[in-house]
Structure 1
Amino acid sequence: MFELKNAIRDYHWGSASQISDLLDLPAETTPQAEMWLGAHPGCPSRLSDDGTALNDFIAQDPERILGSAVAERFGRLPYLFKVLSATQPLSIQTHPTLQQAQERFAQENAQGKPLDAADRNYRDDNHKPEMLFALTDFVALSGFRQPAQIVEDLQLLAAHLPDSAQAPVSQLVGLLQGSDPLAAIFKHVLTAGDEISQLVRQISDAVAASGELQRNVHFAELVSISKIYPGDPGVLVALLLNLIFLEPGQAISLGAGNVHAYLRGLGIEVMANSDNVLRGGLTSKHIDVPELLDVTIAQPSPAPLLEPVALDTHDRLYKPDFEEFQLQVLDPTEPGLAADLQLHGAAVLLCTAGEFLVATREGEHHISRGQSLFVTAAELPATATLQGIVPGQLFAASAQID
């Protein structure tokens, strides 16, 4: 077992100190958006004892460290573990399939585009399915709503909008009542330019001026987003998507082609080991609308809640439909409560409360709030036992294949 040091990314949408407060760490970075735990070359964890980057450590003996099945299937640590803290909306975004990522990463390489180029779409050759476990109340947008629901909302809004907004709204309604409605309206919103920007401002002003409209939580959210991104087409995209309110302990799972945005909250995020993001609004970063539209699945989908498998009263396992990762969550309240860690290959562990004794066939290691461990496949199996009288919380990420 190896204790890790992990970097915090200072993206503008992050909180002042939520991550360091959670983990009882010095607030050396602000804003605090994401702490990365893993072996992504863009921001790898490092071994605490000698500073070796985790990706370089794994490269020394992938089969022993990752496990033979994981090393053969993926050739690298297949997941990236993050602590995410958002006080402002992240971009409207989606992620490619594995085949799309492999082909288009190679294409951009062949074009000679630098990996750090601002207009690059694909920074690696992997897909990026993900899950998020809420640590606090968490608000997100994910997946398209039914066209009829969007039409109903647009008609409600139209009654409060000026005459100049009626034709643009009617056009949106017409698109939603035509063929391939969600693809058509998504493309129009992202490409219509000033007409949509003006409509976004008119809708935001109308909702802000109407107590009746503000009682609709979706409408009220549009105003909140618009205050940060006035006139941004992404504000109107938000009306096309499911608005999801997660309570602590709930989780969602997002596959390729799912249009989504995290709006605010603190959570644990696990994903395939990639940084490929195609953006469509609520951002100052590069937007490639044709590429975004090409990878988007423009079909209605329900809120993608992910239910856990209960292993015990203090132990549950989240297994999304992606073989790259799973997340086990322990939250025992009584000293001495133990759990078998359901680990498949190399694992990353993070303690957010209390203290645990982690035991493998090669030894034991105490891990307390704010500490993280990398457990190699060669050390498995592993158990975790709560120490002391303080209730504990431990997260363990690994692959789903043996």
Structure 2
Amino acid sequence: MRHYAWGSATAFPRLFGMPADGPQAELWMGAHPAAPSEVLLDGARISLDHLPAHRPEMLGDLPELPFLFKVLAAEQPLSIQTHPTAERARAGYAAEEAAGVPLDSPSRRYVDAHHKPELVVAVEHFSALCGFRPGPEAAADVAAVADLLRTAGTGSEGPADTARVDEALNQLRTLLEAERLAEALELILRDAHGGFAQAADLVVPALKSVRPGSALCDGAADTLRRAGGAFPGDPGVIVTLLLNRVDLSPGEALYLPAGNLHAYLHGVAVEIMASSDNVLRGGLTAKPVDVDELLAVTTPAVLPLPWCTPEPVSERWHRYAPPCEEFRLDRLELDDGDTATWAPQDGPAVVLCLRGEVLLRSEASEIAVGAGESVLLTAGERAVLTSEGQSEVFVAAPGAVPSSAL
């Protein structure tokens, strides 16, 4: 379990019956050295990142587990961030290693040599921001915010502050109307005169006067409330107006490749990614931000919403298979007594029981897997899952392996 300030105090106790001990943000299943899982092997516990050295045959032809699998519960927004390409990650990591920058240094940009494409699948209602909106659409909301702040006034702030905010938002609107997205993003993040920080500080109290049907759309108003409420005075609050708001229902998914600027707002989801922790942050965080590198790796273009529609393996078995060799993710919804078979494959897999309980049988063992519990299937291992009552199961596996079958 990873405890971050944005995590939920209620989601994991509600879903898995885990004791509440403050904000619980992410449950990790993987071999990433920052928080590797343990496997029970021959009566002893072994860290999953040590498996290649001790039992390499369990990973098949893979040198290491290529993915990191998570359950994520966000009570507050996560940072505005993007991830590098594999090439940039390798080069950045090598450069910082050669320069002797400690891995735990706040100035460290790349903590490993891998890219971090990621897939997020909602298990409850889940809200996210991802990718740039068309400039004129974003400009309209920026104009609405400017009007709102002028109407609401600045309270104890003086006229100079009003002028500074107006000037910043007018410059931003001009850039967005011209579709100059990279310049618009940089203008906010640099915030040379503090106008965007001031706007971010004023917008939440001003939103109290917003009514449904106003010029500022409901989605943008809710986003500003969430971001500004958690991070008052952070210019990243204004960055949210540049991004698409996407509200996911259970089972809906987004795939975020390198360069896609994004932030998760609220809700519970499962997430799978390449086994990396390379994150370039630009705001909505207490962690260090790196404006220069974030601008360098972000794709400043309007792209289609990155939906990842699952393919049916069977009526109740669906597969999310983005164009990524490190991972794919299967979702099974099983009724009492339903059986599904995971066929032998070249790589290992992680079975997570999200709801209910399943009995997992392989040649080597039999184990009951309850909500919140996970099991490692080794390379070449055939497993039969039998549902005890209604259950929901996710199976994470490498992306470039043969299909499993019912």
After TM superposition, the score normalised by the length of structure 2 is: 0.89
Alignment correspondent of 2:387: 386
Aligned to 1:401: 400
Q: Kindly, what percent of the aligned residue pairs are identical?
A: 40
1:100 — aligned with what?
88
Q: How large is the RMSD of aligned CA atoms in angstroms? A: 1.9
Number of the residue aligned with 2:71? 83
Aligned to 2:58: 65
In structure 1, stretches of 5+ residues that fail to align are 1-7
C-alpha distance in structure 2 between counterparts of 1:159 and 1:12, whole Å: 33
Maintained 8 Å contact 1:78/1:273 = yes
CA distance in structure 1 between the partners assigned to 2:336 and 2:324 by the alignment:
33
For 1:197-245, what per-residue CA distance to the aligned partner results, in whole angstroms no more than 9, with x for missing partners? Answer: 1122344443332223565221232022111111111101100000110
Determine whether 1:329 maps to 2:331.
yes
Tell me how far apart the structure 2 counterparts of residues 173 and 207 of structure 1 sit (CA, whole Å). 19
Deviations 1:264-319 (A, max 9, x none): 11111100000111000001111111111111111112322211011122111111
- Once the two structures are superposed, the pairs formed by residues 222-237 of structure 1 within 5 Å of their partners are 222-237=224-239
Shift of 1:339: 4.1
Partner of 1:5: none
Q: Does 1:181 align with 2:180?
A: yes
User: Which residue number in structure 1 is paired with residue 136 of structure 2?
Assistant: 148
* Structure 2 residue aligned with 1:40: 32
Shift of 1:342: 8.2
Counterpart among 354, 358, 361 of residue 359 in structure 1? 361
TM-superposed CA distance for 1:24, in Å, is 2.6
8 Å CA contact retained: 1:317, 1:328: yes
Change (3 A) 1:342 1:13: farther
1:126 paired residue among 98, 114, 133:
114
Amino acid at match of 1:355: E
C-alpha distance after superposition, 1:159-193 (max 9, x if no partner): 33326243222211222244x61100001100014
Q: Residues 130 and 341 of structure 1: is their aligned pair in 2 closer, same or farther, counting only changes over 3 Å? A: farther
Cα displacement (A) at 1:378: 3.5
1:208, 1:214 within 8 Å by CA — same for their partners in 2? no
Query: Size of the alignment, in residue pairs?
Result: 384
Structure 1 distance, partners of 2:67, 2:13, is 23
Cα gap change, 1:230 to 1:343, in 2 (>3 Å): farther
Tell me the CA shift for residue 363 of structure 1: 4.3
- 1:246 deviates by 0.6
Match of 1:51 among 45, 48, 62: 45
- The answer to whether the aligner puts 1:109 opposite 2:82 as a matched pair is no
CA contact (8 A) 1:140 1:244 kept: yes
CA distance in 2, matches of 1:16, 1:357: 29
Q: Which residue of 2 aligns with 1:4?
A: none
Q: Tell me if structure 2 keeps the 8 A contact 1:344–1:400.
A: no
Distance 2:64 2:139 in 1: 46
Judge conservation of contact 1:258–1:296 (CA < 8 Å) in 2: yes
Find the aligned partners of 1:26 and 1:200 in 2 and give their Cα distance: 36
Deviation at 1:137, TM superposition (A): 0.5
Instruction: Note if contact 1:207-1:214 (Cα within 8 Å) is conserved in structure 2.
Output: no
CA distance in 1, matches of 2:275, 2:293: 21
Asked whether the equivalents of residues 207 and 220 of structure 1 are also in contact (C-alpha less than 8 Å), the reply is no
Q: Which moved more, 1:333-342 or 1:104-113?
A: 333-342
Point out where structure 2 has 5 or more consecutive residues left out of the alignment. 151-161, 402-406
- Counterparts of 1:128 and 1:88, CA distance in 2: 22
CA 1:95–1:400 in structure 2 vs 1: closer, same or farther (change >3 Å)? same
Distance between the aligned counterparts of 1:125 and 1:223, measured in 2?
36
Q: Is the 8 A contact 1:328 1:341 kept in 2?
A: no
Q: Is the 8 A contact 1:242 1:302 kept in 2?
A: no
